[in-house]
Amino acid sequence: MERRFAIIGHRAQSNGKLNLNDLAGSAGRMDVLARSVNTSLFLSHGIRDDSQVTLHLLGGPGPVRRITFHGEKLRGVHPDERAIAGHIGKILRDPVPSIGNHVELHPGLSHSGGQIDQTISEWNREGIRIFVLDADGTLFDPKLHSGDSVGFILSDDKPFTDLENKTFEGLERISLGKKWLQGHSCISIIQHQLDSIN
Q: Is 144 exposed, middle or buried (0-12, 13-18, 19+ CB in 10 A)?
A: exposed
**CATH number for position 53:** 3.40.1280.10
Whether pTM > 0.85 for this model: the answer is yes
pLDDT at residue 114 greater than cutoff 90: yes
Q: For residue 45, name the pLDDT band (cuts at 50, 70, 90).
A: confident
Distance in angstroms (rounded) separating the CA atoms of residues 54 and 30 = 13
Q: What is the domain extent for residue 86?
A: 2-196
List the Cα angle 146/149/150 in 5-degree steps.
55
pLDDT of residue 57: 98
Helix (H, G, I), strand (E, B) or coil at 164: helix
pLDDT in tens, 46-101: 899 999 999 999 999 999 999 999 999 999 898 889 999 999 999 999 999 999 89
pLDDT at residue 189 greater than cutoff 90: yes
DSSP category for residue 52: E
Bridge-partner residues for 110, per DSSP? 68, 104
Number of domains in the chain: 1
